[in-house]
């Protein structure tokens, strides 16, 4: 008798709703070792709500110990671009930038970025922007 090895692919859960862009609620957790299951309403961490690009930026930022010069070199981007990406992450986490909270501007930029990447249509972007 031949034994097959079963491999589980761990897909990364989205941090925001693909329809409206708001945060998702986790309703079920399970242990891959003992099969224990938990059901309820669990919130995700703030970092889970960042885009994949923002999480990658934060990982590089931490790896470079916060040195903007090192982040510039690692990512091949300019100082103003590093600052803009950092400000976008700070705003996405809900913290004030220059004394103001600017999550709406960050959300608008995220919608425009999604259009640019071909992830959503212009019509869908317009619909999302009108909902504000």
Calculate the dihedral angle through the C-alpha atoms of 59, 60, 61, 67, rounding to the nearest 10 degrees: 150
| pTM (predicted TM-score) | 0.56
| Three-state secondary structure of 20-55 | CCCECEEEEEECCCCCCEEEEEEECCHHHHCCHHHH
Query: Which of 104, 60, 114, 106 lies closest to 87, judged by CA?
Result: 106
> CA-CA distance, 99 to 58, in Å (whole number)?
22
Look-up: residue for tokens 């913290």?
Answer: 95
Mean pLDDT estimate for the chain: 83
pLDDT at 95: 87
Q: Over the stretch 86-107, which tens digit does the pLDDT of each residue have?
A: 999 998 888 888 754 445 566 7
Q: Over the stretch 59-77, which tens digit does the pLDDT of each residue have?
A: 999 999 999 999 999 999 9
pLDDT at 80: 86
Do 14 and 24 touch, CB atoms closer than 8 A? yes
Name all domains of the chain by residue range, CATH numbers in brackets.
Answer: 47-130 (1.10.10)
Q: Over the stretch 107-121, which tens digit does the pLDDT of each residue have?
A: 777 787 788 788 888
pLDDT at 70: 96
């Amino acid at each position: 008798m031949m034994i097959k090895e079963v491999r589980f692919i761990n897909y990364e859960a989205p941090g925001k709703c693909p329809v409206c862009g708001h945060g998702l609620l986790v309703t079920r957790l399970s242990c891959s070792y003992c099969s224990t299951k938990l059901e309820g309403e669990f919130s995700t961490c703030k970092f889970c709500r960042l885009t994949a690009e923002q999480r990658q930026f934060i990982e590089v930022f931490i790896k470079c110990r916060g040195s903007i010069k090192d982040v510039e070199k690692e990512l091949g981007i300019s100082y103003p671009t590093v600052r803009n990406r950092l400000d976008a992450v700070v705003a996405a986490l809900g913290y004030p930038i220059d004394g103001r909270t600017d999550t709406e501007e960050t959300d608008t930029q995220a919608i425009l970025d999604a259009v640019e990447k071909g992830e959503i249509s212009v019509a869908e972007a317009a619909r999302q922007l009108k909902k504000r």
